Structure 1
Amino acid sequence: MTSNLYLSLGIIASALFIFMTYGLYNGIGLIDNFPKFRNFKRGEIFMQSGAFPDLPNTNVGDGIGGLILSIFLWIVMTIIFIVLLIILEAVFWFSLFILLAMLYWVFFRALKLVFKRSKDTKGSVGISIVYSISYTALYIGWIFGIVYLSEIIR
């Protein structure tokens, strides 16, 4: 398994190295055009108190009244369950969007730090390679270290 991880990380590191070397050699710059989002405040969307309301206790009796009340409660609970599933789906998609936005921000910031040097390295292969090797070692090297330590500990 670790040899597979080393191979995969080697391919990723090689691709990252080539990409950064090419970008630094050609003087590529990044433009921050990510949309700005409204800052949400705590308690703005949900209840202000943060407490869940008390639900009534429903003891269903025997007979026809209990049967009708059970069917009614079954329909109400089905509707509540469907609404909760819709809310869960919305939360899932919102969480996925936030995760993708965070990954975009991390990768954008990381590459912005690299391509900030493109003014100095434009047209110079040697300096571009030196910067690319150092940033590749920083961005991928710690993952190699984790894989190596997991192999030693095992």
Structure 2
Amino acid sequence: MKIKQNYLKGKSVFIVSLLVIGITILTVYLTGINYNRSLTSNLYLSLGIIATSLFLFMTYGLYKGIGLIDNFPKFRNFKRGDIMGNASPTFDTPSIDVGDGIGGLILSILLWIGMTILIIVLLIVLEAVFWFSLFIILAMLYWIFFRALKFVFSKSKDTKGDIGISAVYSLTYTVLYVGWIFGIVYLTEIMK
């Protein structure tokens, strides 16, 4: 008899996880203002809540035998130099002598307007690069997060119906996935 396995969509799990992390951090920091907790205490509390949520989610998923389906859109494989090429921009700023008198004044105003427009265009390009970079970072986080949970839930066929082994696997992976962040915070606190 074949046992039917339930599946969660990876994209949905990732979005819900980002929301949980964001709400947890926001709640901890907003309540931390009222209790005068330090930044490190708030970080420990946030990480503790996130680790507990991750542990409970993985334990439940392993106990129920849940798997993950990758439904994230596929991206074109980018090669080095595809977007900007291998050239780095090198240019010297020109020095313009506008002269004296009314002609120099008008030319100075036109140059000022031109430079303002150029700066606005460069800021728009910088904003586009920022949002593209943020998108790439989120895509990398999704891939890492999805691969990590997919690896954990690959054990769900072995742990289905056994809460003890599900909890052991979940605790192990929670320590691996969140423990290093605790370690970084602890080392930072020691080095102060």
TM-score by length of 2: 0.70
| CA distance 1:120–1:80, change in 2 (3 Å) | same
Report the 3-state secondary structure (helix = DSSP H, G, I; strand = E; otherwise coil) of the residue aligned with 1:57. coil
DSSP-derived class of the 2:142 partner: helix
Q: Which amino acid aligns with 2:177?
A: Y
- Residue 95 (structure 1) shift: 1.3
Question: CA-to-partner distance for each residue in 1:82-135, whole Å, 9 max, x for gaps?
Answer: 211111111111111112111111211111111010111111112111111111
Once the two structures are aligned, what percentage of the paired residues are identical?
75
Name the structure 2 match of 1:18: 56
Q: How many residues align?
A: 154
Instruction: Give the direction of change, closer, same or farther, for the CA distance of 1:37–1:126 in structure 2 (3 Å limit).
Output: same
Match for residue 185 of structure 2? 147
Q: Looking at CA atoms only, which structure, 1 or 2, has the larger radius of gyration?
A: 1
Residue 49 and residue 137 in structure 1: after superposition, are their counterparts in 2 closer, same or farther (change >3 A)?
Answer: closer
TM-aligned CA distance change 1:41 to 1:137, over 3 Å: closer
Q: Equivalent residue for 2:133?
A: 95
Paired residue secondary structure (1:138): helix
**Helix, strand or coil for the counterpart of 1:30?**
strand
Q: Which has the higher contact order (CA 8 A, sep 6+)?
A: 1
Q: How does 1:3-152 map to 2 (within 5 A)?
A: 3-46=41-84, 49-152=87-190
Q: Distance in 2 between matches of 1:45 and 1:7?
A: 41
List runs of 5+ in structure 1 lacking aligned partners. Answer: none
Q: Counterpart amino acid of 1:93?
A: W
* Runs of 5+ unmatched residues, structure 2: 1-37
Q: Against the structure 1 CA distance between its residues 79 and 47, is the aligned structure 2 distance closer, same or farther, given a 3 Å change threshold?
A: farther
RMSD in angstroms over aligned alpha carbons? Answer: 2.1
Cα pair 1:30 1:112 within 8 Å, conserved: yes
